[in-house]
Amino acid sequence: MKDLLIENASIVDVNSGSILEGSNILISNNIITGINVKKECPQKINLNGQLVMPGLINAHTHAAMTLLRSYSDDLPLMDWLTKHIWPKEAQIINPETVYIGTLIACYEMAKNGITTFVDMYFYEDMAARAAEEIGLRALIGEGVLSIPTPHAKGKLQGIENTKKLIKRYKDNELISPIVAPHAPYTCSDDLLKELACIAIREDVPLHIHLSESEKEFLDMKKEKKLTPTEYLESLGIFEAKVLAAHANYLTDSDISILKRHNVGIAHCPESNAKLASGICPLIKLFDSGINVSLGTDGAASNNNLDILGEMDFALKLQKISNKNPQALKAINALQMATSMGARAIFKEDIGSIDVGKKADFLVIDRENPSLLPGHNIAADLVYSATPDCILSVCVNGKWIIKDKEPQFDKDKIIKLAKDIMKRYFS
């Protein structure tokens, strides 16, 4: 869309939780250029008081793992990974399956109001192709390990895949390349250092799993005499712009390190709970002023891609684990999914409805029964809202869901998903 004036909108201010009723939003190309401005515009939409809020951010996922949704459940993390997921991935993961798996994920995320996602997987050029086809904003990183992967015979090929991804997508409108070493326990010191150097040189974020399980934490302490966080700092990894996924096991010293280096955290409460991996010390992170975002992880360990659900569960998990119903409030979760989440993934041009930000937003039906009678919109969005409340989704100034209708070929995606089941799982 070129110029669009959205009239009679109720804008959700995610920093305060307040509502700016009866507002208009001017969008020029893909940017919000005015709020409550007087300008004639040939293209207008009257929202009749419906809510407008920033698009949701999924800060950590493995999108193509929708192919393994409900394939292997109810297992500890390392058993789940090493005995079930990794062997099956070795059999089925190729450019075609990554493309189809990511299409499925993008369809689901779009329907659920996720406008930006951070992905770590293999054949990420195919993930980018799927995201562009649907119209989602994505940060994509080729998962690099010291051991062979479905897309690399070894670390050297993994590094080359990363360099190619950066070169191809560095100036893309929707796709932002990132560097993605899998984890401290799957990457050698030299590999971690090399990837950090690439991230620093190219000025792109580095995304890594960190302190996801107690075993990882204790093994590192035993082997290196350091926590995983201390270990990454000793290698200079935090000199890059780092987004760390999970961070369930952190000492107070670790939290100080993360704050000092402005490390963003991608908190994945539902996946962590399902795998019994641990509970992120969210309150300490908030108290330290660390930027925290929300992630779903992959659909193989969640099993859905729903940030609305993650907001709700993240708060309830902290309340029960801290035995304090006031541990965190609804506005905190809303910010993790939007404005604070944007800072955590180093994307300052999204995350709120403000002049100069990208036109990534949702139209929410405030008359949906889940949001009635409407005492507190922030609380309703966090504790009550479901994807059914979402009427329309706009990314980069383009509707990808309009009045609940996908503006992409959903029938194609369903057919491809069924074909995959027949060929790889029957």
pLDDT digits (tens, 9 = 90+) for 45-103: 999 999 999 999 999 999 999 999 999 999 888 888 899 998 999 999 999 999 999 99
Q: Does domain 3-54+358-406 have CATH number 3.90.226.10?
A: no
- CA gap 51, 174 in Å, rounded: 25
- 30: amino acid identity, one letter: N
Determine the average pLDDT of the residues in 385-391: 98
pLDDT digits (tens, 9 = 90+) for 249-300: 999 999 999 999 999 999 999 999 999 999 999 999 999 999 999 999 999 9
Predicted pLDDT at 406? 98
Q: What is 23-89 written as a DSSP string?
A: EEEEEETTEEEEES-----SSEEE-TT-EEEEPEEEEEE-GGGGGGTTTS-S--HHHIIIIIIHHHH
Predicted pLDDT at 81? 85
Q: Which of 2 and 188 is assigned the larger pLDDT?
A: 188
Q: What is 216-283 written as a DSSP string?
A: HHHHHHHHHSS-HHHHHHHHTGGGS-EEEEE--S--HHHHHHHHHTT-EEEE-HHHHHHTT-----HH
CATH architecture of the domain 56-344 equals: Alpha-Beta Barrel (3.20)
Confidence of residue 207 (pLDDT cuts 50, 70, 90): very high
Tell me the pairing of strands 19-28 and 31-35.
antiparallel
Helices 410-425 + 95-111 axis angle, to 10: 130
Predicted pLDDT at 31? 97
The yes-or-no verdict on residue 42 having pLDDT over 90 is no
DSSP state of 366: T
DSSP state of 370: G
Strand partners, 264: 243
- CA gap 327, 331 in Å, rounded: 12
Other CB atoms within 10 A of residue 156 CB: 11
To the nearest 10°, the Cα dihedral for 193, 198, 203, 205? -60
Answer whether 0.95 is exceeded by the pTM.
yes
- Cβ neighbors of 20 (< 8 A, separation 6 or more) are 10, 11, 13, 35, 36
State percent of the chain over pLDDT 90: 94
- CA gap 309, 315 in Å, rounded: 10
- Cβ neighbors of 316 (< 8 A, separation 6 or more) are none
Contact 266, 246 (CB under 8 A): yes
Determine the average pLDDT of the residues in 16-30: 95
Contact 137, 350 (CB under 8 A): yes
- CA gap 343, 339 in Å, rounded: 7
pLDDT digits (tens, 9 = 90+) for 313-327: 999 999 999 999 999
C-alpha distances out from residue 368 to 67, 284, 380, 381, 388, Å: 32, 35, 11, 11, 8
Confidence of residue 1 (pLDDT cuts 50, 70, 90): low
pLDDT digits (tens, 9 = 90+) for 140-168: 999 999 999 999 988 899 999 999 999 99
Give CATH 3.20.20.140 domain extents, the chain. 56-344
Predicted pLDDT at 78? 84
Largest CA distance in the chain: 67
Predicted pLDDT at 176? 98
Sheet holding 264-267, edge to edge: 206-210, 242-246, 264-267, 292-294
Confidence of residue 40 (pLDDT cuts 50, 70, 90): confident
Mean of the per-residue pLDDT values for the chain? Answer: 96
pLDDT digits (tens, 9 = 90+) for 215-258: 999 999 999 999 999 999 999 999 999 999 999 999 999 999 99
The yes-or-no verdict on residue 308 having pLDDT over 70 is yes
User: How far does Cα 282 stand from its chain's mean position?
Assistant: 17
Contact 350, 397 (CB under 8 A): no
pLDDT digits (tens, 9 = 90+) for 113-132: 999 999 999 999 999 999 99
- CA gap 126, 100 in Å, rounded: 9
C-alpha distances out from residue 305 to 79, 251, 325, Å: 23, 29, 26
